[in-house]
């Protein structure tokens, strides 16, 4: 399987320049610790807005590394090499999506319980938060990589990526934070989970396809 | 529909339609405003502020319609490489964004006396705001590339991804419990009396013809730009010979 070989390679590369994934983790940690300073250390307010804060920051963290995700390999010719050795564009797209999730989604999920405690969340709602992040962050990676593929070779990428990706990610934010909010007022959050899994399934079927088309276009241009 | 894919034939159809569109625009606009402002009765709850509906609702319809045209044009451009599809999609974006802003602003003006607030974060309003972001994103990404043809293709793919927002806007009032009124037209029938439906219908025709007028003028401009560029390239290559 090319996918696993490529994935191993990608993980090796990202572990070599460890700065990138470390940057993501530090960005998440530092920005979240700004909220209690800005909003005020009131326990009730913090525990009420904590899921929203963590979800918004998960969304923003997923965007930070997008502008180099695909373009690095395209610029130094790696993508072209892979394509000329008969590896499908979809496989390349999938590798990039999984790498993006491993370097941004997973650290966010691992750090969320700690930050949830720091923001005065209750134990049970932290559990719900983790499940919602597990359902939602893969979609963030899928849509994020799609946005990264859209802006390959574009001018002003830094502004374009957030503008294109954030509106498409809003549903994830709404359902993700509503899971925890529903759980807090003793409502069943299953509906929101199912909607998020549904969105994930749609994104898994469509995003790799769209990314592969866009990669092909920017190589053959 | 495929015979219209030729820009020359499309231009001829456009030229023939433009005078009629102007006549319909002026006629339905005048008649619609007379009906909306003077003849139709004030609402039993809302009083005269119901009249803002005659601008708000058609502009919301046209915002959705403009995005639908972007999506359909993009689809035909990606599948059949129809140049007119891309022209229609690109020309619909600015006018669609204006309709969206008009819809949001009129809604806010109406919302203050009726709901007591300019803005609420309910599903209908939020999804409409996302539509505005999608319009802006579509316009920016199309112009972000050196190669215009490449930019058109990328923008088309983005437009198709964003079209998932259309059913969300349409059904947001049914799926969620929103402060926004449910749709006038639904499976249960029409929920507005005929006296109010007449100006609404006239204004909808007026907005639709305005959209067509701006669309046609925009496409004419784009075709002219393409022709000028081709002419410049041609004259340069002649000089070099």
Q: Please tell me which residue, A220 or A196, carries the higher pLDDT value.
A: A196
Q: How far is CA B232 from the centre of its chain?
A: 33
CA angle B23, B202, B89 (to 5 degrees): 70
Q: What average pLDDT score do residues A75-101 get?
A: 89
Query: Which chain A residues are closer than 8 Å to B147 by Cβ?
Result: 221
- Three-class SS state of A131: helix
Closest-CA residue of chain A to B164: A168
pLDDT along chain B (241 residues), means of 10: 74 89 93 87 77 90 95 93 90 95 93 85 87 94 88 93 87 75 66 79 93 93 88 84 69
- CB nearest A160 (choices: B133, B144, B157): B144
Which domain covers residue A61, as residue numbers?
A: 2-220
Do residues B142 and B155 make contact, with C-beta atoms less than 8 angstroms apart?
A: yes
B136 shares contact with chain A (CB less than 8 Å)? yes
pLDDT at position B67 is 95
Do residues A203 and A142 make contact, with C-beta atoms less than 8 angstroms apart?
A: yes
Cα torsion angle, B231, B232, B237, B238, sign: positive
- CB nearest A153 (choices: B145, B165, B168): B145
pLDDT at position B173 is 77
Number of domains in chain A: 1
Query: Which chain A residues are closer than 8 Å to B130 by Cβ?
Result: 167, 170
Closest-CA residue of chain A to B168: A171
Q: How far apart are CA B179 and CA A125, in angstroms?
A: 28
Distances B132 to A50, B121, B156 between C-alpha atoms, Å: 28, 15, 17
Does A150 contact B136 at a Cβ distance shorter than 8 Å?
A: no
Q: What average pLDDT score do residues A159-179 get?
A: 90
Does B133 contact A163 at a Cβ distance shorter than 8 Å?
A: yes
Does B141 contact A155 at a Cβ distance shorter than 8 Å?
A: no
For residue B87, which of B209, B229, B224, B204 has the smallest C-alpha distance?
B224
B157 shares contact with chain A (CB less than 8 Å)? yes
Does A156 contact B144 at a Cβ distance shorter than 8 Å?
A: yes
Do residues A192 and A171 make contact, with C-beta atoms less than 8 angstroms apart?
A: no
Asked whether residue A107 carries a pLDDT value surpassing 70, the answer given is: yes
Does B150 contact A168 at a Cβ distance shorter than 8 Å?
A: no
- Three-class SS state of B185: strand
Q: What average pLDDT score do residues A179-204 get?
A: 88
Cα torsion angle, B141, B147, B150, B152, sign: positive
Q: What average pLDDT score do residues A70-84 get?
A: 86
Half-sphere exposure of residue A85: CA atoms within 13 angstroms, side-chain side = 9
Does B157 contact A155 at a Cβ distance shorter than 8 Å?
A: no
ipTM attached to this prediction = 0.86
Per residue in A6-37, pLDDT tens?
888 888 887 777 667 788 889 999 999 999 99
In sequence order, which ranges of B116-180 are alpha helices (DSSP H)? 123-142, 148-162, 165-175
């Amino acid at each position: 399987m090319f996918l696993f070989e490529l994935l191993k390679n990608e993980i090796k590369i990202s572990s070599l320049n460890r700065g990138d994934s470390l940057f993501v983790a530090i960005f998440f940690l530092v920005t979240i610790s700004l909220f209690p300073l800005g909003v005020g250390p009131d326990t009730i307010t913090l525990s009420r807005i904590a899921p929203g804060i963590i979800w918004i920051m998960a969304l923003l963290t997923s965007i930070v590394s997008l502008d180099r995700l695909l373009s690095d390999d395209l610029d130094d010719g790696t993508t072209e090499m892979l394509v000329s050795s008969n590896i499908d564009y979809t496989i390349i797209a999938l590798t990039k999506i999984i790498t993006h999730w491993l370097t941004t989604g997973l650290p966010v999920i691992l750090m969320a319980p700690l930050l949830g405690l720091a923001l005065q969340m209750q134990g049970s709602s932290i559990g719900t938060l983790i499940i919602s992040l597990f359902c939602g962050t893969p979609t963030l990676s899928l849509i994020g990589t799609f946005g990264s593929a859209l802006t390959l070779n574009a001018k002003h990428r830094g502004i374009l990526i957030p503008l294109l990706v954030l509106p498409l990610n809003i549903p994830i934010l709404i359902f993700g934070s509503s899971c925890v909010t529903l759980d807090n007022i003793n409502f069943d959050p299953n509906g929101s989970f199912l909607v998020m899994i549904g969105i994930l399934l749609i994104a898994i079927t469509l995003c790799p396809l769209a990314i592969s088309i866009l990669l092909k276009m920017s190589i053959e241009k | 529909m495929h015979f219209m894919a030729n820009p020359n034939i499309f231009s001829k159809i456009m030229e023939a339609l433009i005078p009629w569109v102007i006549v319909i625009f002026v006629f339905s606009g005048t008649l619609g405003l007379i009906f909306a402002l003077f003849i139709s009765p004030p609402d039993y709850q809302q009083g005269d502020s119901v009249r803002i509906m005659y601008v708000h609702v058609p502009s919301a319809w046209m915002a959705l319609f403009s995005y639908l045209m972007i999506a359909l044009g993009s689809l035909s451009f990606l599948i059949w490489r129809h140049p007119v599809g891309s022209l229609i999609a690109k020309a619909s974006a600015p006018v669609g964004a204006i309709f969206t802003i008009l819809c949001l602003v009129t809604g806010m003006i109406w919302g203050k006396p009726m709901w007591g607030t300019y803005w609420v974060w309910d599903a209908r309003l939020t999804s409409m705001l996302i539509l505005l972001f999608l319009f802006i994103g579509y316009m920016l990404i199309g112009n972000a590339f050196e190669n215009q043809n490449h930019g058109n293709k990328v923008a088309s793919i983005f437009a198709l991804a964003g079209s998932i927002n259309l059913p969300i806007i349409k059904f947001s009032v049914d799926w969620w419990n929103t402060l926004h009124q449910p749709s006038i037209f639904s499976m249960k029938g029409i929920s507005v009396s005929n006296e109010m439906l007449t100006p609404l219908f006239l204004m909808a025709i007026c907005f639709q013809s305005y959209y067509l007028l701006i669309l046609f003028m925009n496409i004419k401009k784009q075709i002219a730009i393409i022709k000028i560029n081709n002419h410049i390239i041609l004259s340069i290559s002649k000089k070099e010979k």
